[in-house]
Every structure is written in structure tokens, then in C-alpha cells.
Amino acid sequence: MTDTGGDSDAALVEHALAGDDAAFAQLMARHKQWAFRFVRRYVGNADDAYDVLQDTFFSAWLALARYQPHRPFDIWLRRIALNKCRDRARREAVRRVFTGFMGGDSDSIDLPDTSAGPEAQAAAGQELEQLERSLATLPRSLKEPLLLTALEGLSHQQAAEVLGLNAKAVEMRIYRARERLSALREPKRSR
């Protein structure tokens, strides 16, 4: 196939289904940045995010024939990524239960990225850790709409399509998530 850079996502899917591997590679290249950011925010670390992203694209390849061209490809792919994140979270929960039962240590230490200067890296690391801790306290029903809209820039309607909800439900869940996050940031008052 020739240059596919100007083709729409739907056209690239059509080419990929016809056996053009370069078309699917173009789809991956087009969507990998936002997909990685989303997955990274959901799972909490880059190594796991790469694994989930790989699973996402593999599943998308297998399900490509089920893609409906009249719908936005990125919404379809976000739904797959979200499901892969949920699958990983379930596996991790089971692993933690077994690790705790067996008396193992389930804590892991993430080493900081030393490519930035020490002060900038420390500040960024602290902000990211705080955000991850705060997001981890949210139930999935509140975390997912917040990630999709506030951090990924989707509209309420687009997030609703990814989550299988209506836009009003997404709006309410975002409101509740922000309330919870605000409560976490308020200093504890002593009586």
C-alpha cells in the first residue's frame, strides 16, 4: 500500500481488514500517545502501562472486524483500553489477596526517572505520587469518568460512550469524584 497518512481511521481499518499491516501500524502510531497516557494514569506506572497498551492494541487487532466505521475509532479503542485496565486491576486484586495470604510482600518501589534535574524530578515525582494516591482512593465508577474527561480531554458525551453510560451520569460522577478529591486535599481539622 502507498502512503496512508491522510486516510481516516475508518479507511485505515478497511485497509487493515483487507490485509494491509501498514494500515494498522498507522492506526497504532496515530493513537498510541493518548492511549499510553490514559493507561498510565489508570494503572499507575509506565511498565504496566506498556503491557496494558500492548494488550489493548492486540485486542483491537483481533476485534477490528467488529469496529463500526460510523463511530469514532478513538472512542472504540478507549473502550478496549479501559477494559484492559479493568482486567489488570482485577488480576492485581487477586494477586494481592494471594500474596497477603501467603505472607509475601506486595509493596513495590518505583525508582525515579533521573533524566530530569534533581529538583524538577523530585517535585514532579511528588506531584505524580500525590495524584496517583488520590486517584487510587476513588472507586472505579468515579475514577474512570474523571480520567477520561479531566485528564484525557474527552467530552461528557464521548466519555459516556466509552463507559456505556449517559452524559448526565458521567457529569454526576465527575462532580462526586472532584468532591472526594477536594476533601482529600483539605487539611484535617482538629477539634
- CATH code assigned at 27: 1.10.1740.10
Same domain, 8 and 57: yes
Name the pLDDT band for 188 (thresholds 50, 70, 90). Answer: low
The whole-angstrom separation of Cα 17 and Cα 102 is 47
What does the pLDDT average to over 45-53?
92
Judged against a pLDDT cut of 50, whether residue 1 lies above it is answered with no
In a domain, 118, yes or no: no
In a domain, 46, yes or no: yes
Q: How many helices (H) and strands (E) does the chain have?
A: 8, 0
Name the pLDDT band for 5 (thresholds 50, 70, 90). Answer: low
Same domain, 142 and 97: no
In a domain, 122, yes or no: no
Q: What pLDDT score does 178 carry? A: 85
Task: Give the CATH number for residue 173.
Answer: 1.10.10.10
Same domain, 90 and 150: no
- Number of domains making up the chain: 2
Final residue before a domain boundary, out of 72, 101, 130: 101
Same domain, 67 and 160: no
- Give this prediction's pTM: 0.63
What does the pLDDT average to over 68-79?
94
In a domain, 127, yes or no: no
Q: Which residue has the higher pLDDT, 168 or 186?
A: 168
Q: How far is CA 156 from CA 144, 169, 171, in A?
A: 12, 9, 6
List pLDDT tens digits, range 149-169: 887 788 899 999 999 999 999
Domain extent, residue 172, equals 138-186
In this structure, of 10-24, 56-70, 90-104, 133-147, the range with the lowest mean pLDDT score is 90-104
10: three-class secondary structure by DSSP? helix
List pLDDT tens digits, range 74-124: 999 999 999 999 988 888 776 665 555 444 444 443 444 444 556 655 655
Judged against a pLDDT cut of 80, whether residue 16 lies above it is answered with yes
68-88: b (≥16 Cβ within 10 Å) or e:
eeeeebbbbbbbbbbebbeeb
Q: What pLDDT score does 106 carry? A: 40
